[in-house]
Amino acid sequence: MPRILMCPPDFFGIEYEINPWMNVQVAVDHTLAVEQWTALHTLLRDAGAEIALQPAVEGLPDLVFTANAALIYKQTAVLARFKHQQRQGETPHDRAWLEAHGFQAVDPPGGDEAARAFEGAGDALFCGDTLFAGYRKRSDAAGAQEIGALLGVRVLPLELVSDHFYHLDTCFCPLSPEEAIYYPGAFDDYGRRVLQASVGKLIEVEEDEARAFACNAVVVGRRVFTNTGCPGLHDRLAGEGYQPTATPLGEFVKAGGSAKCLTLRLDGEEAAGWRDSGS
């Protein structure tokens, strides 16, 4: 059974600005945020996922984005080392939850070095046996290689060149070991070539849909859940045999996040090669 970690938006809000989507003058409608989060939770549960809940913590408005808590590899959880001080208080809570639920939580290599920032599944996504790692905005390229060495997996680093697409999961979403969604404008030529050479089939997202967080999708089996505003991607997905569903997540877009950011797949993403290896 797919297992997904979520954290309710009890204390979600825009209390600081650490990405270009965030504006402390644009308040979150709390009631609407709760409605949107609950609708996503219900959709994922109805799709057959077991949803685990991490308690919200006052003063940590971005804890709701559980994707950033850690990178999950089998029973190991490589915790985040957040770049921005505003989110660093999340890690003790993530560590405690993951350890209490059977994971071996490890810090990313590099000691306390701020230069070795790493933002979990927001910047590290398996497609097949390869770990694709976004760097420059929030996570460090050398750090990603160290994590690959720790886990014994191949890492392909991808430089993120656009401030609006500051986490890899805002512009790249593996669907299966051979297929992924991506927004080419978030990568440089080299990154685009790496993706084209190493993913069997790439589904391109247009800029306006990428800005609606089309790539920030949650995949459960053949079902794909995204924010509203990406009908072109949904048509492409349906044509490839997927079942896309749109659900409004505008209150979370105000913080620079959407469907995928609000989830952490605990049993391995659908696209992770190791998931079916039986180990």
**Catalytic positions:** 167, 261
Q: Is 5 in the site for ligand ARG (CB under 6 A)?
A: no
Query: Which one, 63 or 237, has the nearer CB to ligand ARG?
Result: 63
φ/ψ region of 108 (left if φ > 0, alpha if ψ in -120 to 50, else beta) reads beta
Cβ-contact 13, 61 below 8 angstroms: yes
Edge-to-edge strands of the sheet including 76-79? 70-73, 76-79, 104-106
- Kindly state whether residue 66 participates in binding ligand ARG, applying the rule CB under 6 A: no
Min CB(213)–ligand ARG separation in Å: 9
Each residue 96-125 as x (binds ligand ARG by CB under 6 A) or -, in order, gives --------------------------x---
Binding of ligand ARG by 18 (CB under 6 A):
yes
Residue 202 pairs with which residues in a beta bridge?
180
Q: What share of the chain is helix, strand, coil (3-state, %, to 5)?
A: 35, 25, 40
- 261 touching ligand ARG, by CB under 6 A: yes
Question: Is the CB of 157 or the CB of 256 nearer to ligand ARG?
Answer: 256
Range 76-95, binding ligand ARG (CB under 6 A): 87
Find the binder of ligand ARG among 28, 210, 255, 259 (CB under 6 A).
255
Q: Are 148 and 131 in contact (CB under 8 A)?
A: yes
CA–CA gap between residue 6 and residue 242 (Å, rounded): 23
Distance CA 44, CA 245 (A): 10
Choices 4-12, 18-26, 156-164, 181-189 (CB under 6 A): range interacting with ligand ARG: 18-26
SS3 203: strand
Spatial separation of the C-alpha atoms in residues 73 and 273, rounded to whole Å = 11
- For the chain, state the CA radius of gyration: 17
Can you name the residues that pair with 53 across neighbouring β-strands? 6
Interface mask (CB under 6 A) for ligand ARG, residues 129-168, using x and -?
--------------------------------------x-
Which of 119/270 has CB closer to ligand ARG? 119
Q: In the complex with ligand ARG, which residue's Cβ is closer, 86 or 243?
A: 86
What token pair was written down for 210?
A: 């990428």
Minimum Å distance from CB 10 to ligand ARG?
A: 16
**Stretch of 23-31, 72-80, 150-158, 256-264 lying at the interface with ligand ARG (CB under 6 A):** 256-264
Is residue 114 classed as helix, strand or coil in its secondary structure? helix
Pick the stretch among 17-25, 103-111, 204-212, 263-271 that binds ligand ARG (CB under 6 A): 17-25
- By CB under 6 A, residue 257 contacts ligand ARG: yes
CA distance 88 to 107: 13
Element (H, E) at 165: none
For ligand ARG, give the closer residue by CB, 94 or 169: 169
Residue closer to ligand ARG, measured from CB, 68 or 130: 68
Amino acid at 79: L
Residues making contact with ligand ARG (CB under 6 A):
18-19, 22, 62, 65, 67-68, 87, 122, 167, 169-170, 255-257, 261
